[in-house]
Amino acid sequence: MTGSVPIWFGDLAVGQVDVAADGSLSLQYANRWLQTAGAFPLSATMLLRADPYPSDVISPWLANLLPEEEQLRVLTRSLGLDQADALAVLAEIGGDTAGALSFGVATDRVLWSYTPLTQFYGTDDPQEALERHFSDLARRPFLVGEEGVRQSLAGGQKKSALAVLGPEGAPVLRLPERGDVLAIPLNGAPSTLIVKPDNPNLPGITENEVWCLRMAQAIGIEAAQVTILKSSKRTAIGVLRYDRRVGRNAQLLRLHQEDFAQANGLPPGRKYERGTVRGLDLKTLLETGRHVSATDALALLDQVIFNILVANTDAHAKNYSLILPVGAAPRLAPLYDVSTVLSWPHVAKSYAQSIGGKTRRPDMIAGRHWEAMAREIGYRPTDVRNRVQELVDKLVASRVSVTADIAAIPGSTEGYVTQTADAVEANALRMAGRL
């Protein structure tokens, strides 16, 4: 062994990742963690046991905790590290990650602090501070190199992990309200809000995603709570972190989670089914429901149906997750990262997974494809068709109220909201008509 990086849940050592002389990794749970009441596994691929897990198991799981594409290139260049060395990167920035874990250094509550964006950027205008923060992220993702900031979020999209501070200056687990302040977590303090700036290449993405997730909630699908944030020049999506909870004495606590790429031992490069090496297909995606209750497995089917109905063709393996809570069985995470591609002619329209054995676009889906999906995973085709119809009926019934609610959010552009609603409703009705 040439080195090791400890993994922490708060101030409890969960285990450590050891690096061998040939660069291979292994993970071993700490004896104390194995004896701790309520201890959870790091992953569905790494259940609690005394024997170590080898490199081919731990490496994909680690890689999925890091950003991708340009975000990772800029970040590793700033750190002077190899993009492929996920463990070294996490040792530097893995203080606040997706889920409950920190890497390298234990979390010490005494040191937790939050710096308001207005103070950090030296302005009294919250919208100007948010705009400067977005510009800052383009130069240094997750404020890499800033003293006290150690954050990592997966995905290729520019984003930030902030905290909402209430009127008394303490973090609150809710979407921002009038009088609240957005702040940067320091020294291992947990974030509560993921902020995703809009994208000029995808006009209306803010309204699009907020509409889709609010619609999911309206028709009975548990989804991440979202809103629209406004800076001095643009808008952003604010997503309340579902992997956080409030404990006794109003303490902010982390919940452990992993995405379906991690739960199936796939590196981020295989989050799509198609590729040189096959990634997550629809059958395997739905069979990941074996880790959760029967009720949650049906909720997973609803998530898949909803993504198909709204034409969220980018619903890859990292857009579904499990929550692995302390002392309880795994459960399905709320739906997140949903937007319809129908608003953008230049975006690929093929779904991330094959449907009925072939690559499909939204305009190709017919009743036989839902039946094929049902048979593949052991559901009755009639039940799946009926569920599709139920969700379409609920979507149509909720369309007016959800659209009005999103259009009323400060910073929202009504035209983008209506465009999203029209496109999704037309797509869903076309699919229902072909059942």
Active site members: 314
Residues 6 or more apart in contact with residue 432 via CB below 8 angstroms: 388, 389, 392, 393
How big is the CA angle at 249 (ends 245 and 253), to the nearest 5 degrees? 25
d(CA 235, CA 198): 6
Phi first, then psi: give them for residue 401, nearest 5 degrees: -70, -40
Q: Of 159, 150, 148, which is closest to residue 103 (Cα–Cα)?
A: 150
The position carrying tokens 């619609």 is 215
| Euclidean distance between CA atoms 374 and 298, whole angstroms | 12
Q: List, in sequence order, every residue forming a beta bridge with 13; answer none if it has no partner.
A: 8
**Other beta carbons within 10 Å of 263:** 24
Distance separating alpha carbons of residues 354 and 127, to the nearest angstrom = 42
C-alpha–C-alpha distance, residues 372 and 374, integer Å: 5
Give which of 212, 386, 432 is closest to 306, Cα–Cα: 212
Q: For residue 99, which of 258, 224, 240 has the smallest C-alpha distance? A: 258
